[in-house]
A and B are shown apart, each in its own frame.
Chain A
Amino acid sequence: MVQITSPAFKQNAARALADAGLQKALGKAKGAFLQRRAEAVARLPEFEQLRDIGRDIKNHTLANLDFYLETFAANVERAGGKVHWCSTAEDARAAVLEICRQAGARTVTKGKSMISEEIGINDHLEKHGITPVETDLGEYIIQLRKEHPSHIIAPAFHLNREDWEADFRRMHTDLPADRVFNERRDILAEARTKLRQRFIAADVGITGANFLIAETGSSVIVTNEGNGDLTQTLPRVHIALASIEKVVPTLEDATSLLRLLARSATGQDFSVYTTFSTGARRPGDLDGPEEYHVVLLDNGRTNMIGSEFQEMLRCIRCAACMNHCPVYGVTGGHAYGWVYPGPMGAVLTPSLIGVDKAGHLPNASTFCGKCESVCPVKIPLPKMMRHWREREFERHLTPAGVRRGLGVWAWFAKRPGAYRLATKTAIGALSLLARGKGAFRSLPLAGGWTKGRDLPAPEPGGTFMARYAKMQRGR
């Protein structure tokens, strides 16, 4: 189970900044995602229009969520599947365990699923004598390391190649100790061989779901490796874990969202495997599971409906927001202290575990707005982080120092003359100290800021108001 360390975000972040291995991995990884997404978007001129369509599909679905969930469930059952409605993580754990017990399961293979992290199913199964085996390459090494994913689509975002090699040598002790990993593909090949046996031996396969389709009663998974398909095809029983907001009305709706998903996530035009599962094996079929279950999880999401956080339920978990986030880019995902990191985590986590525990996360933002500008379903993430800051303030959860600071700022903000004088003085002093340099690497009294990042020096020419006044005069 993921231990909640969100209340210690500041300490987590400080540790992350001092972790050379993590900084190396983050530095290498983030540029790749940004560039590939930008290229994929450039290849599809309709991308911006599709974002509006994606937003509208999700809004329509959320406004009629009860109807579409009931329709989905009825169609799953028509196809010989079973839907397990679960209000809490505990309900979902119990439902999965019961299905596994009924199946007499000893090992369970798993496709990548963030809901599985959210409900902590691996620990629960292990506690009851069932061995869960993660099969997504990134999730596999995370399980070997007894860690949790640091990114929602690239679980091992925080690791370097050396880590992979060391962990494989440590864990795969049946292989020759002096084997050589010349290329990344040698690591991949070893994982493929190791997991092959697991796929074949598993009694139950557990996957997540990127979408549920009401029209057909299907669950959809999107992967590049093919592990999800092996997981849901070979064992006798398939369980799809999905939260309630994953449902969309029709195949056409899912198709429009799929045009956004891979481009926003990995910068591919389409992922390698997009698979629609509908019920159990049909008469005459030569393969496929004999049982099909959907575990449908609420776990706090219904509380977001009708609140200022309802729009967060549009999220399709592409990770574009964290890939583009300057805070995530230096702290990595583990600092956020629970399942969902980055801007989407900063909004979702307080909704699901409480702002008392996760109040730091919506504060861990520069409000640069990049997350909203790349979100494929146009979730106003900064606005919602602001809502959380307000709630935190109202509930007096904000630390005294911050409250005092806000008080001082408010005093000036309400007195424009004093405000302008103060900013003019500060900018003058900073310009003097900067001596023509673009940024400060360190600054007296601002060590808390400059320890983890540079402070930009003021541009020459004075405050905005001073320059604006000058421009007006020049007309």
Chain B
Amino acid sequence: MLNTILFILLWVAAIAFFSWSVKKIRRNIKLGKDIEIKDNRKKRWGLVAKVAVGQSKMFGLPISGILHLFVYAGFILVNIEMLEVMIDGVAGTHRALADVFGFLYPIAISSFEFFALLVIIGCIVFLIRRNILRVNRFWKPEMKWWPRLDANIILITEVVLMTSIFFMNASDYILQTRGTEHYKEVGSFFFSSFFVPMLQNLPTETLLVIERVCWWLHIIGIMLFLNYIPYSKHFHVFLSFVNVFYSKLDPAGKLENMPSITKEVKSMLSGEEPPMEEEGEEVSFGASDVKQLTWKLLMDSYTCTECGRCSKVCPANITGKKLSPRKLIMDVRDRLELTGKNIDKHGKDFGDDKSLFNYITAEELWACTTCNACTESCPVNIDHVSLILELRRYIVMEQAASPGELNAIFNNIENNGAPWQFSQDDRMLWADELYIKEK
């Protein structure tokens, strides 16, 4: 009875705190510029199935792709077992589903154990790759202590959660064979049976403790993990599905239009007065801070799991430039988190006279070739190029601070219709003295 109350109370608390955290993130994302993404729902669901659920882009790097599949599929399937845990926890029963499923039950549990094993293998290899092999993309400058620790916390937690299942099941089985009260005979489970010899000589009391501790460790571990996720890069386990749904559907080469400028340019070309700005309408060209970015770009930052595939393929990053697409996305998230905290503390109109440019330098932004290798490689369809473009637009149009060489190009295009300083009248010179062999 006491256990049941404790169990229910813990879950209520865990879910309440989780909802509170998620609401914060949702509020932060909604600080972004409002845009409507409602087109092509069919295509979007297709993308969710392929890219998010089907993990299609993960296999660009086959080893990480397969290991990630172990952890992803394993973790989801293992947690089907949570259903029984919930029933047992609330009803005070033990392995309530064993009677329902009969001889299938040990098979089901054994297969969950198989998936748990996959998760453990995946996580351990990941830990080795990060900490011992030191795979380059996990040791770039933006991977400071917290991103590295964050990743390790996640991986170790998953190993602990999964290992507890094996010890729980193994001790459970031994208790069954000893006819211990409450531990009805449901049979042995394939993978945990390998742990049986290790525990076999322990007294019943100790086994009872192990079984119960592992059970609670698993439950409380999952509750804690759930509440850790919103404060971690691990939030991708939820947001990647949503973020992929809201993917850019246009060809990667197309950049976002700015209708506000279209109005101005049209009036300039037709020689009319530019339209008056509507009262209260704050027009900024490009973005200097998170509130001027679209909510989708802000969602991108919360979806990023810092895998670094973008930076691994970025031509600028490969050749030692400061630009790292992953860092930019992490910067947006850091800035957005701080903006959110400031709102919590000082109210919604608070400004801290900082901007994204306190995080991101012009040097990083100008190194981008807009080649879209980053967006192509991102497993959750983050749009780094749009972010870079918005910041460039601000530098050029609001600050008039573009690099001198680019200013010269702009002048040339404006004055003679080409980035080079050639007269537009010379645009046909290439065709001079052009001959073809008659056959």
User: Are both chains from one complex?
Assistant: no
